[in-house]
Amino acid sequence: MHIGFRTSGGRGEYEIVSGASGQSASDLEGWTFHMLWPDGKLRDTQLWLDPGDSGKPRLRSLVKPEFQIGRMVASMLLLPAPRRELPASAVGLPVIRQGEYFLKKVGFGPGTSFASPPESVQFTPNYVEVENREHTEQLGVEARWRRIEAIYASVAQQDARVATLLRLHQDQINTGEPITTSLPNVVNRIVAALAEADPAYVEGHDPLPALERRVGIQIADVPDLPPPDDIGEEDVEVRVRSAHDYRLSKARGPSAREFSKAVREAYRHRCLFCGVVLGGFGGLPSGVDAAHILAWTNYDLDVVSNGMALCRLHHWAFDAAIMVPVLQGGKYHLRFTTRANALLTADARAYLLAEDGLEVPEEWLPDDRNDWPKKKYLERFYDDLSIVLA
């Protein structure tokens, strides 16, 4: 479940969007919303779900002036002010620019609870999605909050005026009281003061990287989104994106080289999905990738049975969760997911796979059966990415 932004009808509005998991938006009509922030404080958002006259219920402010959840969360995350309508964004610029993007989603994390009476949702925001006309990006709330805490902790090293404003930001959040429209104003002033103090900072862009650079904070190259299984079941796109980030991070990790070598050799440089053999002998480097099935759990992940050798094309198809191996009766079958039907043309599907359900010949698999993709990894992967077969 998440809070989603709707632009249609000229005025931007937020509504509750839910899918498979239990509660539906209409069950929550009249409910109020409390937000459990990563600082451990539970705040009244002063929002409630207004059934309205017709159609979908909207999130409305109980206070005037109306304070939308998007502006509230953006200001807490030190993001410059979003806007309410679809912006006419310029090409090739970052998504986050003051007044040039909107905050499209606030994802509910696994700590979210629904209490009744009184009818109140306590949600843990775990990611936000920002969008302009060109691009969509997701930011993990917890990871970004930890970065902001590090900025608070080193505030004395900032330019004096920026430091004063950052302390004001911290003080307002520390009260645990409902966030008011004065917080976005503080962020606007931080943006303006930072632009004056730092010629390398483009006014209106995300100020956090510039604040970090000024005090010498290095950001670790790790995924900032929550793992896929902590993201709402219906937010499949975000789950797939998160899985991709974790796999990339794993592929760059310290044990990556050994894993990669072991998987490619076990598969004799053959793609599990199409059988093509690419290099790996006669001085030709291996042309297949070693793909992790899971990259975000506590299992022992760098074992061959959590990997597959895939050509670039099929690595892409697996990473995008449009094509998966399914173990049935001791045989692997290649199956399209519902995402393949939704996102690919018939031509593209035919290019990827001759026939949905194709059985993988045993000679495409490693000699040692212990190295075959393990059922427990595959099943966890289907669950975590909400995979539905076509």
Interface with Zn ion by CB under 5 A: which residues?
271, 273-274, 311, 314
* Nearest alpha carbon to residue 224 among 213, 208, 211, 210: 208
Structure-token pair, residue 172: 């307002």
For the CA atoms of 206, 211, 216, 219, the dihedral, rounded to the nearest 10 degrees, stands at -40
CB of 340 to Zn ion, least distance (A): 15
SS3 69: helix
CB of 324 to Zn ion, least distance (A): 14
CB of 314 to Zn ion, least distance (A): 4
Residue among 187 and 274 whose Cβ is closer to Zn ion:
274
Residue among 28 and 378 whose Cβ is closer to Zn ion:
378
Residue among 235 and 289 whose Cβ is closer to Zn ion:
289
CB of 311 to Zn ion, least distance (A): 3
CB of 316 to Zn ion, least distance (A): 10
The alpha carbon dihedral of 383, 108, 340, 267 has a sign of negative
φ/ψ of residue 262, rounded to 5 = -65, -40
- State the Cα angle at 329 between 323 and 334, rounded to 5°: 15
Residue among 364 and 372 whose Cβ is closer to Zn ion:
364
Residue among 97 and 269 whose Cβ is closer to Zn ion:
269
* Nearest alpha carbon to residue 102 among 60, 135, 127, 77: 135
Residue 130's DSSP bridge partners are: 103, 137
For the chain, the C-alpha Rg in angstroms (whole number) is 24
SS3 251: helix
Residue among 59 and 271 whose Cβ is closer to Zn ion:
271
CB of 334 to Zn ion, least distance (A): 10
CB of 362 to Zn ion, least distance (A): 17
Helix then strand then coil, in percent of the chain rounded to 5, is: 35, 20, 45
DSSP state string for 308-376? EEE-HHHHHHHHTTSEEEEEETTEEEEEEBHHHHHHS-HHHHHHH-SSTTEEPPGGGS-SSGGGSPPHH
The whole-angstrom separation of Cα 62 and Cα 65 is 9
CB of 318 to Zn ion, least distance (A): 10
CB of 356 to Zn ion, least distance (A): 16
Residue among 187 and 317 whose Cβ is closer to Zn ion:
317
Residue among 70 and 307 whose Cβ is closer to Zn ion:
307
Question: Kind of pairing, strands 120-123 and 113-115?
Answer: antiparallel
Residue among 49 and 317 whose Cβ is closer to Zn ion:
317
